[in-house]
């Protein structure tokens, strides 16, 4: 079986001090880096995604430019292309990443599958071309983009493992619910390798 690693949205705006900071984000970045140091060679593909929103745009209604965000469908300004907030967290070492994808370019996007490489290649095409049958999922946030990415991988017929020590969520209750949903859908929830 050919295995891939997903690193979902480990960006400055989603870690401590960011526009949509998730508690424990910096620690997750460092733990993913340690996981890569020990296990990168086990993966045929390592895909890292970043939210990459247009400046001065609501990005298809995703960003609340007027009024208060509802934190369900609309969000504060975050991960604007070319800003520090959109860059990878400094605790994440990305030298082993084989494919970088950007998502949410003008539209709402939660799943890593909605991203493309700079030359327009989709994640589905990347995985299919390399015969990937298994994916380990890591990143931020458990209850949003990690959840959406893992569900999409399952829908593509890929065996999914969520590495539970390498994810961080917005809230404990919604993160637990997301993990339960993923387990029910067929994902394996596993601790550190």
The residues assigned a catalytic role are: 9, 103, 145
3-state secondary structure the chain: CEEEEEEECCEHHHCCCCCCCCCCHHHHHHHHHHHHHHHHHHCCEEEEEEECECCCCCCCCCECCCCCCCCCCCECCCCECCCHHHCECCCCCCCCCCEEEEECCCCCCCCHHHCECCCCCEHHHHHHHCCEEEEEEEEECHHHHHHHHHHHHHHCCCEEEEEEEEEECCCHHHHHHHHHHHHHHCCEEECCC
């Amino acid at each position: 079986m050919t295995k891939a690693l997903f690193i979902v949205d480990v960006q400055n705006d989603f870690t401590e001090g960011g526009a949509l900071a998730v508690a424990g984000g910096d620690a997750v970045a460092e733990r993913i880096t340690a996981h890569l140091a020990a296990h990168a060679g086990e993966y045929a593909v390592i895909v890292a995604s970043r939210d990459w929103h247009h400046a001065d745009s609501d990005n298809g209604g995703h960003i609340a430019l007027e009024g208060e965000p509802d934190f369900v469908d609309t969000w504060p300004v975050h991960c604007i292309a070319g800003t520090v907030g959109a860059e990878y967290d400094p605790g994440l070492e990305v030298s082993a990443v084989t494919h970088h994808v950007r998502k949410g370019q003008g539209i709402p996007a939660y799943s890593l599958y909605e991203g493309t490489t700079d030359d327009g290649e989709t994640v589905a095409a990347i995985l299919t071309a390399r015969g990937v049958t298994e994916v380990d999922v890591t990143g931020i946030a458990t209850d949003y983009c990690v959840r959406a990415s893992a569900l999409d991988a399952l829908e593509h017929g890929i065996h999914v493992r969520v590495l539970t020590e390498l994810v961080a969520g917005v809230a404990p209750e919604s993160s637990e619910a997301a993990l339960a949903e993923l387990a029910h859908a067929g994902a394996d929830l596993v601790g550190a390798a």
